[in-house]
Chains A and B, each alone.
Chain A
Amino acid sequence: NAGVTQTPKFQVLKTGQSMTLQCAQDMNHEYMSWYRQDPGMGLRLIHYSVGAGITDQGEVPNGYNVSRSTTEDFPLRLLSAAPSQTSVYFCASSRTAPGETQYFGPGTRLLVL
């Protein structure tokens, strides 16, 4: 049982490049979420999904796309990277009942030059 996995662990991009951050979970959780963590700040919600085929925006969705074709995977796409997207990205999953604990992946550190 690997829990929540994220790849890559670290990535450097140039401004304008696109890339996909991968997230997978093997706990059969319906809920999956993407957060970003900037220095000195807490996690802010980018996008979340309540199940395959269903996604919604969080607090800071601009510049990011998501899709959820399977229960296990929830990739985050940066369409045209900007230096403001330099951050640590965390993926999380949880069961559907209210108040369920979110399980977090190890994070992806992204640097946009």
Chain B
Amino acid sequence: AQKVTQAQTEISVVEKEDVTLDCVYETRDTTYYLFWYKQPPSGELVFLIRRNSFDEQNEISGRYSWNFQKSTSSFNFTITASQVVDSAVYFCALSGPNAGKSTFGDGTTLTVKP
């Protein structure tokens, strides 16, 4: 069975602070895929990134960066110089060979205060 744990339920920061959202996963699949989604207050799910289990390279996209470490089964997400518009619920998700079946963490609610 697959499991995704986002231990941080809520995080509050002041604008321009850096913040890291943690994600720890469990799976028996040797090939798997990790995702991060953003859910703003409007409720839709916005895809942020996908990473496969064979690619441990860290990735940076603007103020966002992701750190994937197979040794610790973690896929953490860092927002640099946070902004109020970053306020949202962030979900980490895991899928195996079947693209239609994803396991989600319970999400981390990020509040960025001006």
> Which residues on A are within 8 Å of B, measured CB to CB?
31-33, 35, 40-45, 48-50, 58, 88, 90, 92, 94-104, 106-107
Determine if B104 and A99 form an interchain contact, defined as CB atoms under 8 angstroms apart.
Answer: no
Can you spell out 5 A-B residue pairs with CB atoms less than 8 angstroms apart? A31-B99, A94-B99, A95-B99, A102-B47, A102-B100
Whether B99 contacts A102 by the Cβ 8 Å rule is yes
Taking residues whose C-beta sits less than 8 angstroms from the other chain, chain B's interface range is 20 to 34
**1/0 contact string of B87-100 vs chain A (CB within 8 Å):** 00001010111111
Is the pair B100, A98 in contact by a Cβ cutoff of 8 Å?
no
**For residue A50, which residues in chain B have a CB less than 8 angstroms away from its CB?**
98, 100
How far does the alpha carbon of A33 sit from the alpha carbon of B93 in the complex, in Å?
14
With a cutoff of 8 Å between Cβ atoms, the chain A residues found around residue B106 in the complex are 40-42
Q: Which residues from chain A contact B93 at a C-beta distance below 8 Å? A: 42-43
Contact A42 B91 (CB under 8 A): yes
Contact A107 B43 (CB under 8 A): yes
Q: A30: shortest Cβ distance to chain B, in Å?
A: 8
Chain B positions within 8 Å of A94 at CB level: 99-100
Chain B residues with CB below 8 A from A42, complex form: 4, 6, 91, 93, 104-107
Cβ B35 vs Cβ A101 within 8 A: yes
Across the two chains, which residue of chain B brings its CB closest to A50?
B100
User: Do residues B52 and A33 form an inter-chain contact, with CB atoms below 8 A?
Assistant: no
Determine whether B64 belongs to the interface, using a CB cutoff of 8 Å to chain A.
no
Q: Give complex CA distance A88, B107 in Å.
A: 15
CA distance A88 to B89 in the complex (A): 15
Assess whether B101 is in contact with A100, with CB atoms less than 8 Å apart: no
Nearest CB of chain A from residue B92's CB, rounded to whole Å: 9
